[in-house]
Amino acid sequence: MAPEIQKSDIVLSQSGRDQGRMMVVLDTDADYLLLADGRLRRVESPKRKKRKHVRFVSHGQEELARRLREGAKLSNSDVRRALQEWQQPTIAE
């Protein structure tokens, strides 16, 4: 069973023009998610997409989740950084 998608989670778009793109969940409701990737889909105009058209990939960063819960404004660079850090995790020595 897939985990419940929440704010700050990273999802993969499975349909539409943005198919195959990783995105961060900015907000949720019963049927829809608001998604942004910081480049083509900016925070100022997030993509509204049905839950069934995305696949859960990973939980997002704690810092990003905290800022979304508090209602703090996110920048596009914050979203890009979160996606990049997920794709290229740091290697602990």
Confidence band, pLDDT 50/70/90 cuts, at residue 2: low
Structure tokens at 80: 């890009």
pTM of the model: 0.85
Q: How far is CA 46 from the centre of its chain?
A: 10
CB-CB neighbours of 85 under 10 Å: 13
Residue type, 29: D
Alpha-carbon distance of 17 to 37, in angstroms, equals 14
Residues 49, 69: Cα–Cα separation, whole Å = 20
7-17: average pLDDT: 93
